[in-house]
Copies of this chain bind each other. A is one copy, B any other.
C-alpha cells in the first residue's frame, strides 16, 4: 500500500516506469565482476589469519612460488610504506597505513580472517593449493571482542600508537579507544531537574553483517604502460580508484575503475579489500588477476556494523515535554579506528526537540573485522536505545506513544545536539500518517501479542556528482552518470532528466560510466544518489535546455532570449516545437547537443520514518513472529514510488533480521562460529509479512523537485519497533540485540 500525500505535480516523477536495466537483470545478461572474461585471466586467492590476534613472526612464500602454475605471490611487503599517510577520501580522511594493513596484514593480524598473503595462479585450484604452502609463523596474543571489555585498562591492546584519553585528546598510555566524541546543548543537569519522570536504561547490540548477496569480487590488470584497470563490485568507482591509487602511491589518473553490476552493498562495498591485492598480483605477473570471496571470507574478512553498548537517560514533564537527554555510546571500531560512532552520536536524539542534551561516544578497537558502514551506519543501534526509553516514558506518563513523539518532534528550526538546525522536515507528517494509518487504527487482539511503534532518522549526505548527456536525433537522450546503481538509481536519475526536458523516462537511456568516462562522482551511499546525482541530471537538463533554446532561435531566425521553454515545448514568435521535434532538426543549427553538469550540494536532506509492528511471541520457545509491519517515511518527492517502497521494505526486513536473529556468534577463542548463510540466519520471504508502506512527501527545500534520500532511514526504527512491540506482548523490555528466541524465552520465563 502506498499513499502519496501530495497531489501529482509532475509528469514523470511519481510514475513507475520499468527500470532501464530490468531486462538485463532478469535475463542474467547483466555483467557482474565474476562474470567477466578477459584474455589471459588468472586467479587470485587470499591466505587469511586463523588467529584473532597475533604477531606475524615470518612469512615464507618460497614453496608456494615454486608450485607449477603459480604466477605471483604478494604480501604487505609489496606495498609502499604508508606510515603516517592520510588521504582525504570523499566522506572523510582515511589513515592509509590502517587501510593498507587491513588489505594485507602488516606485522600483526587483528582478527580471524585478516588477509595475510595472496597468490595468483593459472587456476583457482592451484591458487588454493599455493595458499596452503605459504608458511606463516604467528605469536598468538590475547584477544578481545566485546566493546566494554576492550575499553578496560587491562584489555589486550591492538595498536600501540592509540592514546585517546577521556576527553578525546592524546593521552599518556596506550588504549583501544580511537575517538571520544562529545556533543552538548543547553544545561543538562538543569534539564533533568525540570523533569517529572526520568528513565535510564542500558542496551547492547551484536555485530551484524550487511549480507549483500554478491560476495566481493575484483579483477585487476596492470598494463605494461603502467596503467591499472580494475573491474570491481563497488559502491563507488571513484572511491575505489582513489583508495587503490593511494595505497599503491600512484596517481589516480593511472587507475581506471570499471564498476560492474553490484549485487548489494549497503555500505559494505565502499572500502577496498581485493582491488589493491589483485593489482599488485597483476603488476607482478603481467596478467589480469581475478579475485572473489567466499561467503566465509565475506563474514570474517569484511566489515560488519559495530556491536555496541548504549546508555540513554531521558527526562520529561508530566505533559510529556522532554526536558533533558543524556547518552553514552561505545561502538566497535573493529580492527582499525574509524567506526560508526560519529553518526551514532549525531542521530541518537535527532528525532526530538530537546532543550538540554549531552552525548558521549567512544570508537573502540577490538579483534573483529574493521567495521564498515551498514545502511544508516550507527543510527539503528542508537535508535534501539533511545526509542525504547521514549516508549517507556510514554508508558509511565500514560501518553499515547505517537502523541508523546508528536509533542517533542523535531521540526523546521530544531537544533540537533551536534549542531545543525533543521530546514523543513517531515517527522510530524510521518507521525500523523502513522496515527491515521489503517494499521494503527486496527485492533490487535490475542494472547502474547503486542504492537510497537518507533521513529527513525538519517541525515543523508550530498557530496559530489557528475553527469553528461547527449541528444539523439530521434529526440531521446543518452545519459552517462557516475553513480553505481544498486537500487534502481539509473532510472530515478533518468526520470529527473526526463522531467526537466519534458520527455518520458523511456526516452532517456542511462548508463553508469567508468572513472574515465564520467566526471568525479562520490560513492553510492548516504542516501545521496537520487538526491545529488539526480540534481546533476537536473542541472544537465538545464544545460541542454539552454542550448536547445539557442538552436530554436537559429531555426526561427530570432534572438535566443525570445525563445521560451515550457513543459519541454520551445516557443517564439508564434512558432513552437516540442523537444523531440527540435531534436530532429538540429542538423543545420550547429550539430549535436551535449549537456553536462557537476554538483556538490551543501548540507543534508534529513529523512524521517515511523514504523509500526505487531508481533506475537511463542511462550514455549521465545520465537517472535511479526504479524503486521508498516513503514512510513518522508521521501520528499518519491521519484519512482516502487523504488521508495522497495527501499522501505528492504530496510524493514533487514532491521527485523537484526532485531530478531542476526549476530556474529563468537566462541571463547573469539572465532565466529556462524560464518555461512545457513547459520547466520537472515530473514527470508517466509519469515516476514508483506511490509506495508506509506510514503509521505514533504518537499526538501534544497532540491528543485523536493527529493530527499530514502535508502537508509528504513533500517533505523525496526529493532526499536519490534522491542517496543515485544514489551507490549510480554510486559518485558528486551535490551539486547538480537532478541532471539533463547533471550526472549529467558526474559519471559
B residues in contact with A521, CB < 8 Å: 592
B residues in contact with A480, CB < 8 Å: 468, 516-517
Complex Cα–Cα for A37 and B590 (A): 39
Complex Cα–Cα for A212 and B422 (A): 66
Would you list which residues of chain A between 711 and 728 have a CB under 8 Å from chain B?
A: none
Query: With A23-B225, A253-B472, A594-B598 given, can you name 4 additional A-B contacts, CB distance below 8 Å?
Result: A470-B519, A478-B517, A519-B592, A595-B596
Contact A224 B23 (CB under 8 A): yes
Contact with B along A578-604 (1 / 0, CB 8 A): 000000000100111111111110000
B residues in contact with A473, CB < 8 Å: 242, 252, 520
B residues in contact with A515, CB < 8 Å: 478
B residues in contact with A517, CB < 8 Å: 478, 480, 511, 513, 517
Q: Whole-angstrom distance from the CB of A223 to the nearest CB of chain B?
A: 6
| Number of chain A residues whose Cβ lies closer than 8 Å to a Cβ of chain B | 54
Contact with B along A588-624 (1 / 0, CB 8 A): 0011111111111000000000000000000000000
Contact A253 B476 (CB under 8 A): yes
Q: A470 touches which one: B39, B466, B470, B474 (CB < 8 A)?
A: B466
Complex Cα–Cα for A595 and B543 (A): 12
B residues in contact with A511, CB < 8 Å: 516-517
Contact B596 A594 (CB under 8 A): yes
Contact with B along A676-705 (1 / 0, CB 8 A): 000000000000000000000000000000
Task: Tell whether A184 is near chain B: CB-to-CB under 8 Å.
Answer: no
Q: Nearest CB to that of A511 among chain B residues?
A: B516
Q: A468 touches which one: B27, B29, B37, B468 (CB < 8 A)?
A: B468
Task: Tell whether A114 is near chain B: CB-to-CB under 8 Å.
Answer: no
Contact B594 A599 (CB under 8 A): no
B residues in contact with A597, CB < 8 Å: 594
Task: Tell whether A251 is near chain B: CB-to-CB under 8 Å.
Answer: yes
Of the A-B pairs whose beta carbons lie under 8 Å apart in the complex, a sample of 10, sorted by A's number, is A24-B225, A88-B587, A252-B473, A466-B591, A472-B520, A473-B520, A511-B517, A519-B593, A593-B598, A595-B596
Contact with B along A513-536 (1 / 0, CB 8 A): 101111111000000000000000
Q: Whole-angstrom distance from the CB of A2 to the nearest CB of chain B?
A: 26
B residues in contact with A471, CB < 8 Å: 519-520
B residues in contact with A251, CB < 8 Å: 474, 476
Contact A507 B37 (CB under 8 A): no
Contact A22 B225 (CB under 8 A): yes
Contact B591 A600 (CB under 8 A): yes
Would you list which residues of chain A between 219 and 254 have a CB under 8 Å from chain B?
A: 223-225, 227, 242, 251-253
Task: Tell whether A416 is near chain B: CB-to-CB under 8 Å.
Answer: no
Q: Whole-angstrom distance from the CB of A358 to the nearest CB of chain B?
A: 31
Task: Tell whether A674 is near chain B: CB-to-CB under 8 Å.
Answer: no
Number of copies: 2
Task: Tell whether A321 is near chain B: CB-to-CB under 8 Å.
Answer: no
Known A22-B225, A27-B224, A224-B27: A519·B466 in contact at CB below 8 Å: no
B residues in contact with A468, CB < 8 Å: 468, 480, 594, 596
Q: Whole-angstrom distance from the CB of A260 to the nearest CB of chain B?
A: 14
Would you list which residues of chain A between 619 and 645 have a CB under 8 Å from chain B?
A: none
Complex Cα–Cα for A598 and B592 (A): 6
Task: Tell whether A370 is near chain B: CB-to-CB under 8 Å.
Answer: no
B residues in contact with A590, CB < 8 Å: 598-600
B residues in contact with A516, CB < 8 Å: 470, 478, 480, 509, 511
Q: Whole-angstrom distance from the CB of A249 to the nearest CB of chain B?
A: 12
Contact A591 B520 (CB under 8 A): yes
Name the 7 nearest CB pairs between A and B, nearest first: A591-B600, A253-B476, A520-B592, A23-B225, A519-B594, A464-B591, A470-B519
Would you list which residues of chain A between 80 and 114 have a CB under 8 Å from chain B?
A: 88
Would you list which residues of chain A between 17 and 60 have a CB under 8 Å from chain B?
A: 22-24, 27, 29, 35, 37, 39
Q: Nearest CB to that of A513 among chain B residues?
A: B517
B residues in contact with A225, CB < 8 Å: 22-24
Contact with B along A466-497 (1 / 0, CB 8 A): 11101111101010100000000000000000
Q: Whole-angstrom distance from the CB of A586 to the nearest CB of chain B?
A: 9
Complex Cα–Cα for A172 and B511 (A): 54
Interface centre among A463, A480, A518, A594, by most B CB within 10 Å?
A: A594
Complex Cα–Cα for A365 and B392 (A): 92
Q: Whole-angstrom distance from the CB of A626 to the nearest CB of chain B?
A: 36
B residues in contact with A591, CB < 8 Å: 463-466, 520, 598-600
Complex Cα–Cα for A599 and B592 (A): 7
Q: A223 touches which one: B23, B37, B472 (CB < 8 A)?
A: B23
Interface centre among A476, A511, A600, by most B CB within 10 Å?
A: A600
B residues in contact with A596, CB < 8 Å: 468, 594-596
Q: Nearest CB to that of A22 among chain B residues?
A: B225
Contact B592 A466 (CB under 8 A): yes
Complex Cα–Cα for A518 and B587 (A): 17
Contact B472 A507 (CB under 8 A): no
Contact A253 B507 (CB under 8 A): yes
Q: A474 touches which one: B223, B227, B252 (CB < 8 A)?
A: B252
B residues in contact with A253, CB < 8 Å: 472, 474, 476, 478, 507, 509
Complex Cα–Cα for A516 and B479 (A): 7
Complex Cα–Cα for A465 and B591 (A): 8
B residues in contact with A24, CB < 8 Å: 223, 225
Complex Cα–Cα for A39 and B36 (A): 10
Q: Nearest CB to that of A31 among chain B residues?
A: B39
Complex Cα–Cα for A225 and B30 (A): 13
B residues in contact with A593, CB < 8 Å: 519, 598
